[in-house]
Structure 1
Amino acid sequence: MASIELYEASIALFFFLIFCFLFNKKPFSNLPIKKTLKSYPWNWPVLGMLPGVLVRLHRIYDCSVEVFENSNLTFQFKGPWLSGMDILVTVDPANIHYILSSNFSNYIKGPEFQEIFEAFGDGIINSDSELWRNLRKSSQVIFSHQKYQNFSTSTTRRKLKDGLIPLLGHFADEEMVVDLQDVFQRFMFDTTFIFITGSDPRSLSIEMPEVEFAKALDDVGEVIVFRHITPRFLWKIQKWIGIGTEKKMMKAIAILDSVCAKYILAKREEIRTSQEITRDADEESEEDLLTSHIKLDKTKYELLDPEDDKFLRDFTVGFMAAGRDSTACTLTWFFWIISENPNVLTKILQEIKENVPISRSDDQGKSLYLNKLVYLHATISESMRLYPPIPFERKSPIKPDVLPSGHKVKSNINIMIFLYAMGRMKDVWGEDATEFKPERWISETGGLRHEPSYKFLSFNAGPRTCLGKNLAMDLMKRVIVEILQTYEINVVNGQKIEPKPGLILHMKHGLKVKIAKKCSRLE
């Protein structure tokens, strides 16, 4: 992270000195203090609003809330001249519904998005139009198949029983201070890797080893953030020369390619040697995602070729990034926020005690009880409202358009939906928008209250709504229940809790905790 902060500072200073040289003015002189430091970044000549963003990058999320409170939910960011960095940023539910649903066909990821996110190749994260429809359709079939659902459930259960719960017990016995964010990232990395390949990389262990694939994904994320805040010609020069953050990107992509190639080759060989298994036995077996994609009937999907290793590589990298980070992020914020709200924790514990069997021998039956945990579901949703794992969404119109807010958009302009600020908008969520209040998700009859996806966007909205939404919620509930039935998670006092600027809303300094065993489960 040190390298990206160095580049941020260097670029900020670069633009700063250019401005002072060209215009011979002291920065921020004669400007209203409130507008400059709180309301929104000043639009400098030549440099646009980029210097203001760079100096605010350390608190960009809080600043975004202030900006939207003063701009009627939609804000035009002006980048440096000729940089192509102009962005229309919105948290207006009417605009979001229009972009993601009612006029979905006109709003795509676009070539610039695909260029910035190049490490994910042509997978579902980057794809548009017919390719996206092919990928969506195939994924929907695989995710809904009983083979994969059985496999994902048994994998999560085993990783909890044999991995996470014993490891937390070790930390409790040793009275160690641990970074719970790191623990959850490792748990989800291993679990997601098993979902895809059937193999456990075992990054979740007492030794906490560095895993090159996980490190490469982290490096890719850092460079993508850098590309968002840097004029295109600058990072393009870096890439051409092979220096700085772009050198890090090239190394990371090479690692992702190498690891994926290894597992794809091994999986193809595994499938070839298992051809003698009877059809009946195969129908009853569990199946990982890579196996399902290799066996894909390409006659049903015009643009998908399971014989192409790049297709399998792009799927693997994209699903690993999505499956690991967003769930681990949500779990981390969840445990911090309930530590800050002990009354909420008390209600969750009581609900678990009343609805979930304690016996570990009833693991299979536990899945049926998860649906009864209404207050837990509400608390997870409320945590994601205030701390969305993916803090922003990008789109670009194919044709010029006019949004419901009245803003005109040109073709290919960048539009950003800022989920973090949206969850704190009083115009969207009411006067208590900034309060942590799980009760807002519970109806008068005691059931879950539905909120439209264009208002609560953590699982996306419209045709691109997350296919794994229900599986992810069940996984998080299972993890939370297992932990709370066995341990007390005590957050260490005095640490600074703040989000880290990036593609995922990680905690900047992690979450340091101490773990204590309960004398009896759910006492």
Structure 2
Amino acid sequence: MAIFEIFLLLTFVTISFCVMLSKTWKRSSSLPTNWPLLGMLPGLAQNSRRIHAFATELLSESNGTFEFKGPWFCNMDMLITSDPANIHHIFSKNFSNYPKGPEFRKIFEILGDGIFNADFELWEFHRRTTLSFMNHEKFYTLLESSVWEKVETGLIPILDYFSEQRIDFDLQDIFQRLTFDSICKMVLDYDPGSLSTDLPYVPCEKAFNDAIEALLHRHILPESIWKLQKWLGIGKERKLTDAWKAFDKFIYPCIPSKEKTNDFNFNLLKAFKKAYEEKNGSLEEQRNFLRDTSLSLMFAGRDTTSTCLTWLFWLIATNPVEESKIREEIETELKLMKNGNKWRFFNVQESRKLIYLHGALSESLRLFPPVALEHKAPILPDVLPSGNHIQENSKVIISFYSMGRMESIWGKDCLEFKPERWISARGRTKHEPSYKFPAFNAGPRTCLGKEMAFIQMKMVAATIIYNYDIQLVKGHSVSPRDSIILQAKDGLKVKLCKRNV
């Protein structure tokens, strides 16, 4: 047996022993023991299947900031925080000291030169091009028509089918298909048609779920371990490699060829192609750049929106009074009561009148932020407002999930679903600073698609809430998945009944 294999075996046995020993102790604190040589790794291993809840417990006991000590040989030391002052400092006040950096790019290598990995000039190019597209006079017309077309031709027929047949189904899967088709149309000008009654298997659409779980494990495991798994082609790294192949196979054929450069339809990919050509980039580099750009936008468009909708419907299914209030608002603001309760599609301006629904979506984002955590590393040493000293290139993990569960931030009712939290005394939408509510990131990197996401989610949510009664399937457990994107681990199994409206 090789020396390295013996070392790994001894490490595994030692960690297992420490985990078992920890379980036998009756401790009043959830803070992990800092073992000689192994650091706090046994405590992390013990909680590896509930990593977000574990981080929340650590931060609750540590005034919002906790220093995790890894084994001396693994370079796993990290600072974990949910302190709004720290977040404001990292994401805004000292923004230039916290680029994504090389460590982030290693973990998210699958995204290449997309906006999530980009820093400095490349990041500015991404922001400028995306902002120009969203500020175009055609943008909201395109958004409105594309959402309603997918709702009318995809969502309503499949929900009607499930309702008529009284079939249990996974609502999260439906939302993922809906948002995948929608973002592909917006970015690539191509509808893969994954949202239909036969629920076709589209490898690229399903590859996202495997990728996001593997990316979380890259945050937790020592780099040497996940790189070894990648080299051996085993575990979650094998699934990530397969997902990478599925993404490339789907995206590259959608990239317009040089001959079609002037065939400019209004979609994001061609907007980026035009902007890239103006920079005089090489053709081969352009293809790879457009692939990276498309994949990053697809990640943002599929997973964040579908995740928020999933948790919204779980929250209102377990809070029926709030569902009734949302339904009443839809009837009143869209004047459906005067229209004989007949459902109709509504425009972007009308969507902004749905204040209570906006509050419900914000609560979903607060309690279950789609992007559960963010990873930062300073270029230069720094001192955070919490008083913690951090060295250059050290790992800082910001737990967005934990932030929504901190009494110090949201009060004693922080675990309650209260859409009223987001409504001002004058009955308008109440806004919170991004360093307190970072569901769309914070500071200069705040998501440009925030308003687009709210509009899309209101259109989809209002359609379902008004036209259907939703019941959770009895005995079905709903809990967050241990991944970068905070999906429901086993989906959201529901039964639908069409309302008589």
Same fold (TM over 0.5): yes
Give the Cα–Cα distance (whole angstroms) in 2 for the partners of residues 517 and 201 of structure 1.
27
- TM-aligned CA distance change 1:32 to 1:288, over 3 Å: same
State whether residues 73 and 92 of structure 1, in contact with CA within 8 Å, keep that contact through their aligned partners in structure 2: yes
Q: Cα gap change, 1:307/1:18 in structure 2, threshold over 3 Å: closer, same or farther?
A: closer
Q: Which residue is 2:486 aligned to?
A: 505
Amino acid at match of 1:161: E
CA contact (8 A) 1:12 1:51 kept: no
In the alignment, does 2:420 pair up with 1:424? no
1:137 aligns with: 128
Residue number in structure 2 paired with 1:293:
272
User: Which region of structure 1 is more displaced relative to structure 2, 78-87 or 93-102?
Assistant: 78-87
Aligned counterpart for 1:27 among listed residues 21, 24, 28: 21
Counterpart pick for 1:376 among 343, 351, 357:
357
Answer whether contact 1:393 1:417 (CA < 8 A) is retained: yes
Residue 325 (structure 1) shift: 0.4
Other-structure match for 1:342: 320
Whole-Å separation in 2 of the counterparts to 1:26 and 1:340: 37
Q: 2:384 aligns to what? A: 403
Q: Which moved more, 1:327-336 or 1:54-63?
A: 54-63
Contact 1:42 1:52 in 2 (8 A): yes
Deviation at 1:305, TM superposition (A): 7.8
1:479 aligns with 2:447: no
Residue 48 of structure 1: aligned partner: 39
Q: Establish whether residue 443 from structure 1 lines up as the match of residue 392 from structure 2.
A: no
1:306 and 1:463 map into 2 onto residues whose CA distance is: 31
CA deviation profile, 1:375-412 (whole Å, cap 9, x unmatched): 11111101111111111111110000100111001000
* Alpha-carbon separation, structure 2, partners of 1:304 and 1:390: 33
Match for residue 7 of structure 1? none
Alignment equivalent of 1:333, drawn from 311, 317, 321: 311
Residue of structure 2 in register with 1:4 after alignment = none
Name the CA shift for 1:305/1:86 in 2 (closer, same or farther; >3 Å).
Answer: farther
Q: Verify: 1:217 aligned to 2:208, yes or no.
A: yes
Shift in Å at residue 269 of structure 1? Answer: 5.2
Query: Which shifted more, 231-240 or 89-98?
Result: 231-240
Are the counterparts in 2 of residues 268 and 294 from structure 1 also a CA contact under 8 Å? no
Q: Does 2:106 align with 1:115?
A: yes
Distance in 2 between residues matched to 1:244 and 1:130, nearest whole Å: 36
Q: Which moved more, 1:75-84 or 1:346-355?
A: 75-84
1:108-507 equivalences in 2 (<5 Å):
108-265=99-256, 270-272=260-262, 274=263, 287-296=266-275, 298-299=277-278, 308-358=286-336, 363=345, 365-507=346-488
Q: Who is 2:4 aligned against?
A: none
Q: How far off its partner does 1:362 sit?
A: 5.9
CA drift at 1:225: 2.1
Query: How far apart are the structure 2 equivalents of 1:270 and 1:206?
Result: 34
Distance 1:17 1:340, change over 3 A: same
Cα contact 1:134–1:302 (8 A) shared by 2: no
CA distance in 2, matches of 1:330, 1:29: 35
Instruction: Name the structure 2 match of 1:18.
Output: 14
Aligned-partner Cα distance in 2 for 1:485–1:55: 44
Residue 8 of structure 1 corresponds to none
Aligned to 1:412, the other structure's residue is in SS state coil
The separation in 1 between residues aligned to 2:343 and 2:226, in whole angstroms, is: 55
Q: 1:130 to 1:454 in 2, by over 3 A?
A: same
Whole-angstrom distance in 2 between the partners of 1:149 and 1:174: 36
Aligned partners of 1:210, 1:468: CA distance in 2, in Å?
28
Question: Aligned letter for 1:444?
Answer: A
3-state DSSP of counterpart to 2:72 = coil
| Change over 3 Å in CA distance of 1:26–1:492 after alignment to 2 | closer
Paired residue secondary structure (1:58)? coil
1:245 alignment partner AA: K
Q: Which residue of 1 aligns with 2:58?
A: 67
Which residue does 2:89 correspond to in 1? 98
> How many positions carry a matched residue from both structures?
491
Runs of 5+ in structure 2 lacking a partner?
1-6
Percent identical residues: 44
Taking a change above 3 Å as real, the CA distance of residues 302 and 308 of structure 1, as seen in their structure-2 partners, is closer
Q: Which of 68, 72, 94 is 1:77 aligned to?
A: 68
Aligned partners of 1:107 and 1:396 also within 8 Å: yes
Shift of 1:128: 1.2
AA paired with 2:367?
L
CA distance in 1, matches of 2:485, 2:46: 20
Q: How much does 1:248 deviate? A: 2.9
CA 13–43 in structure 1, closer or farther in 2 if over 3 Å, else same: farther
Q: CA deviation at 1:298?
A: 4.5
- Tell me if structure 2 keeps the 8 A contact 1:223–1:245: yes
Q: Which runs of 5+ in 1 are unaligned?
A: 1-10, 275-281
- The Cα offsets for residues 448-503 of structure 1, whole Å up to 9 and x where unpaired, read as 22211100010111000000000000100010111122111111122111101001
Q: Kindly provide the amino acid, as one letter, of the partner of residue 206 in structure 1.
A: T
Residue 3 of structure 2 corresponds to: none
Contact 1:16–1:51, Cα closer than 8 Å, also in 2: no
Shift of the 121–307 alpha-carbon distance from structure 1 to 2, 3 Å rule, reads closer
Residues 225-265 of structure 1: CA deviation (Å, up to 9, x unaligned): 22222211122223234344333333322222222211114
- CA distance in structure 2 between the partners assigned to 1:119 and 1:302 by the alignment: 25
Q: What amino acid is the match of 2:348?
A: S
Q: Deviations over 1:77-97 (max 9, x none)?
A: 111213121110111110000
Structure 2 Cα separation of the partners of residues 20 and 325 of structure 1: 35
Q: Which residue identity is paired with 1:163? A: G
